[in-house]
Amino acid sequence: MNELTLFPYGISILEIIYVVSSVLFILGLKKLSHPLTARRGNILAAVGMGLAIVATILFHKKDGEAIGNIPWIIAAIVAGTIIGWVIAVRVKMTAMPQLVSFFNGMGGAAAALISMMEFPHVHSDLIAAHGMANGQVLAILLGLVIGSVSWAGSMIAFGKLDGWIGDLRVKSMKYVNVGILLVITGMVIYVMTRNVQHASELNHWIYIIFAVAVVYGVLFVMPIGGADMPVVISLLNSFTGVAAAMGGFLYNNQSMLTGGILVGSAGTILTILMCRAMNRSLLNVIVGVFGGGGRTGIDTAGTVKEITLSDAAVLLSYSKKVVIVPGYGLAVAQAQHICHELDKLLDQKGVEVKYAIHPVAGRMPGHMNVLLAEADVPYEQLIESDEINPDLPGTDVVMVIGANDVVNPAAEDDPSSPIYGMPIVKAREARNIIVMKRGMGKGYAAIENLLFFDDKTRMLFGDAKTSLQNLVNEVKNL
């Protein structure tokens, strides 16, 4: 299959390069686990991908023939590189979740297209020996279904994150989604059990499966929104990795296989961790019915109390320990830089400032980490919620900026609440609480936040960016 076998035991140059690129993928993924080494890890993984692409073009042969249409391949690589570079450079940090969804969708689409192109070319000798129930056909069909779902779902997630697609919540949606999954499974089994001489005889079924998988991808993501988006993004990412791995099986490409397995496994592990953080089951994620809808079963006794800018500035300035809880509202207002300016001012006054990062705050895994890193907030100030919770009883002020469900005590107190059991930032245990919001709107779970009615809570209403800027000015004038 491959030329230039210059090593013992028939090992080719192409196989050696694939191993090298796979090692670079693994090293890159390892370095992505820490912000200080993340950029280097990204470069290593990119170099590994570049090596694999170049080596495949130069050395890969199928049935004794080299890869054709080289000018078209190079033109596509150049065009894709330019487009991707421009998009990545111009995108705002607050729009990073949309970019992740879009790029992930493109990977799923590529995997689905590979399956659609390769199905008619399943070797007739393989069909004659094993029928359609063989490994090659299975890899093609799995790549088609998973890649199509990933592409369609990622595009819907992109639209929802960008604000031009709303939520579609229907009580019977889970039954519809499970029914579509059963239909897809039945069609895959039907294709693999057909008695044909050439796979091309079943081409029309490939397009039908593709269409139904796209419908499922759309319906799977449509009910999801708000606080649940990080879970679905990580799940779709794992889908793309698995679909890519099917392409690696199909082409016997070790580099493609390794990359797909790494993405798929990492995405799956992250999805499970996100589900635990949100107190969701993975089954609910797959059928697309989690999140939203519901109300707290506890009466919101008490009144909402406000705080003035001057009082908030005095309270913060004369505190010893302040914890900031960022949420999606901070990202929407693009207020991360001003927030960092505030924490630096407080630090100059001798106040210890830390950020409490909830695993699903924002719209994608690590959204708050990326957002605050873009504002040059030191990584050491970003503390995971489960680590900072024990320190909150000794904290003078917790300032909640644009977060809602992740600080709602209903998650601990109200068994009837849709977020009951979800680990939260225990803001109510602090001595004082300042909540910055536009108004009294509910979070994605559509329930009242009991924290707003706590005796220790004071509301500072207004746009987060404007309020923070005014707060900075007040602190400077003290």
Do residues 392 and 323 make contact, with C-beta atoms less than 8 angstroms apart? yes
Cα(132)–Cα(195) distance, integer angstroms: 7
Cα(409)–Cα(302) distance, integer angstroms: 15
Cα(352)–Cα(345) distance, integer angstroms: 11
Exposed e or buried b per residue across 166-199, where buried means at least 16 C-beta atoms within 10 angstroms of its C-beta:
eeeeeeebbebbeebbebbeebbeebeebeeeeb
From the list 405, 414, 454, 455, the catalytic residue is 405
Three-state SS at 325: strand
Cα(299)–Cα(306) distance, integer angstroms: 20
Helices (H) and strands (E) in the chain, counts: 18, 8
Distances (CA, A) of 241 to 150, 185, 321: 10, 20, 43
Cα(225)–Cα(215) distance, integer angstroms: 18
Cα(78)–Cα(91) distance, integer angstroms: 20
Cα(205)–Cα(283) distance, integer angstroms: 28
Distances (CA, A) of 131 to 63, 147, 169, 192: 21, 24, 43, 8
Q: Of the candidates 264, 261, 249, 247, which has an alpha carbon nearest to the alpha carbon of residue 112?
A: 247
Cα(432)–Cα(458) distance, integer angstroms: 8
Three-state SS at 353: strand
Any catalytic annotation for residue 386? no
How many CB atoms lie under 10 A from the CB of residue 442? 15
Cα(143)–Cα(253) distance, integer angstroms: 15
H/E run at residue 434: strand 432-437
Counting every residue, how long is the chain? 478
Q: Which 8-state DSSP code applies to residue 76?
A: H
HEC profile of 365-408: CCHHHHHHHHCCCCHHHEEEHHHHHHHHHHCCEEEEECCCHHHC
Q: Catalogue the active-site residues.
A: 405
